[in-house]
Chains A and B, each alone.
Chain A
Amino acid sequence: MEKLLTLENVNVSYVNKEKKVYAVRNVSFSIEKGDSLGIVGESGSGKSTLAMALLRLHNENLTEITGKALFSGKNLLEITQEEMNELRWQDISVVFQKAMNALSPVHRIGEQVEDIYHIHVPQASKKEIEERMIKLLKLVNLPERVYRLYPHEMSGGMLQRVAIAVSLLHDPKLVIFDEATTALDVVTQGQILEEVVQMEKEMDMTRIMITHDMSVVAASCNKVAVLYAGELMEVGYVKDIFKNPMHPYTQGLLNSFPSLKGECEVLHAIPGFLPDLSKPSEGCIFAPRCPHADDRCRREKPVQQTMKDTRQVACWLHQGGEENE
């Protein structure tokens, strides 16, 4: 499959006069066309920082970004803002957690959609835009009248659907969902996830889903990347990782979710707290909380290993990959 986005050693740090916070460290992975990748981790693990870096939404005076993010031949982390503007909406779009804040409260949905459409297609007529948008609204199961409503006239679930529809306006190659369903009800979340998966089949889009909820990933993604304190712990296919998590952190995360219908096992929390991100780490960053950590883990940083099932794990336990199951 064709690679759509390739990250190579991406580092993002927030800098101010006193200190430097290393929010994302040496993250490398790639996404193929048609993939849906879930990025999971605790709060503070750098999920959103990574996504914002890809979209170049960080304040450039306060962040330091190094590494490569290749997207159709361009390095997203180096191109100018003008070039980035060309890509936004057209090739990459984003859906944020709070759709009510993403939409202007004083304009009708239609007016906002026209604005966005005109950025890339200035000559488009109003009728053309409306037709396109109504088609998209149907995709997310919303009635036509939504086009003429103000955001306050709709519920949270409807707004989130509008935000998803708007993000698809220009048929982007890559859509990033930043906790897009977190604030919603179980029922609404379930419905939206199902619609998104359905849409993906029809529209050939690639999706990055940022969430802290493992069940959302299980329900809607085919690949998963587990981040901890800004470092990539494990990345691979959902079906492999959920069945047989290899990294102790992934195991810990999965153990802290109860199963809906299966046996009631005892829930285990991961002891300890996130490390101080302003200090560069020596050794494995998860070592202080890891039940299997030994001296080597505390001394040397584990290298990413590719396993049989194409997943990559950064852990000394699975060094030498192939012989370990």
Chain B
Amino acid sequence: MSKEKKIPFVSVKDVAMWYPYHGKSKNKERGEKDWIKAVDGVSIDIERGEILGVIGESGCGKSTLGKILTRLEDPTRGDCLIDGVSTKEMIKKSNKEFRSTVQIVFQNPFDTFTPRDTIEKILLRPLKNYKIGSDDDERRKMCVEALESGGLYPAEDIMKRYPHELSGGQLQRISIIRSMFLNPGFIVADEPVSMLDVSVRADIINMLIDLSKNKGAAVMFISHDIALTRYISEHIAVMYLGRIVEYGTADDVVKNPRHPYTRALISNCASIDPEDKQETISIEGEPPTPLNPGPGCYFAPRCYMACEECYKKYPESIEVGNGHWASCPYAREEM
């Protein structure tokens, strides 16, 4: 990482998302205990043309983070800057402009599109809204070109179809094409391939890589598939209970994980090489609730190397070189 004072393209600053909890302590005054801390203090930078992978178990706040960055949720605390401008200010000034800078690709392509509209109508809408192209004919031509560039043939035929007449892989490609129409600088891809068949996954992944390399878009790739995330992204952030516990380049994190949670996560990840039988580190129990996770390290109750200190104070992040850091006092030690 360079030491120059360059402003990163996307800069997330101490973002938190707390949801109120209406549980047993309903009649009490709302203290700090009554919040579910889905995301609790996340800071991260993404450069132009970079793909950042975010991995973690379900319920660790990956998707909530994506929603905050696209401002589908307003964070309780903190802010996200794009090109040095706060998204909060941006959205206040002009929602329309903000939406053309930031786009999201959702997990389930079958729910992404209005079932009543044809693909043509779906694709023309953003172009019309942003007054791109002089008339419908020109816009239609743009749609055909975009579809063909995404490998969807015959484009003319696909334009006339309804979403239910297309397969999941085709719909997901259209979803990405649509999100690219306005040349957004930042795209959040929230588990874009987990619903798709393995044989078409590679297409979507290669499309996202192409998008970030050729158009210089910053991409946040949210997934629970570690092998895939390593393949697609330059940097990986590992989340646990609303916090990033480890960050570094994809190879560093996967091959040389420093946080015990990452180690366990990767050791449990099945490899397609049957001879690559690695020692699995078992994690005891289920992930605790994000409701009142305690003062110490959130992972301490399930950690195989936790000491007393770990239960008292949330550990500081320790850098182990090459921009790779982990929030664990033992990050520098071998296991």
Contact = CB atoms under 8 A, between A and B. Distances in A.
Interface string B266-296: 1111111111100010110010000000000
A253 B272 CA distance: 11
Interface residues of B, number: 38
B224 interface: yes
A187 B227 contact: no
A42 B273 contact: no
11 contacts: A42-B198, A185-B57, A191-B268, A213-B198, A258-B231, A260-B230, A260-B273, A262-B273, A266-B206, A267-B205, A269-B201
Q: Which of A216, A256, A269 neighbours the largest number of chain B CB atoms within 10 Å of its CB?
A: A269
Given A187-B268, A238-B274, A260 B202 contact: no
A260 B254 contact: yes
Interface in B58-76: 58
A242 to B, nearest CB: 5
Q: Which of B198, B199, B225, B271 neighbours the largest number of chain A CB atoms within 10 Å of its CB?
A: B199
Contacts of A252: 199
A39 to B, nearest CB: 14
Contacts of A253: 198-199
Interface in A102-156: 155
Interface in A261-303: 261-262, 264, 266-270, 273
Interface residues of A, number: 43
B266 A260 contact: yes
Given A258-B230, A260-B254, A269 B273 contact: no
Interface in B220-253: 224-228, 230-231
7 closest residue pairs by CB, A with B: A190-B268, A258-B231, A267-B202, A269-B202, A219-B270, A215-B270, A270-B199
A322 B264 CA distance: 44
Contacts of B280: 190-191, 194
Contact of B271 (A158, A185, A215, A267): A215
A179 to B, nearest CB: 13
A81 interface: no
A248 to B, nearest CB: 12
Given A194-B280, A261-B254, A269 B200 contact: yes
Nearest to A187: B268
B167 interface: yes
A218 interface: yes
Contact of B227 (A185, A220, A260): A260
Contact of B272 (A190, A257, A270): A257
B249 to A, nearest CB: 12
Given A219-B271, A257-B227, A260-B269, A186 B276 contact: no
Nearest to B268: A190
Contacts of A262: 273
Given A218-B270, A258-B227, 5 more contacts: A214-B272, A253-B199, A257-B198, A259-B273, A261-B271
Contact of B57 (A43, A186, A212, A261): A186
A193 interface: yes
A259 B271 contact: yes
A255 B198 CA distance: 10
Interface string A164-204: 00000000000000000000011101110110000000000
B202 A215 contact: no
B198 A256 contact: yes
A157 interface: yes
A291 to B, nearest CB: 13
B334 interface: no
A216 B202 CA distance: 19
B265 interface: yes
A123 to B, nearest CB: 38
A24 interface: no
B251 to A, nearest CB: 8
Contact of A155 (B200, B272, B286): B286
A297 B276 CA distance: 35
Interface string B189-212: 000000001111111011000000
A215 B272 contact: yes
B268 A242 contact: no
B86 to A, nearest CB: 34
Q: Which of B206, B273, B282 neighbours the largest number of chain A CB atoms within 10 Å of its CB?
A: B273
Contact of A242 (B199, B230, B255, B274): B274
Nearest to B228: A258
A284 B275 CA distance: 32
A257 B225 CA distance: 11
Contacts of B202: 255-256, 267-269
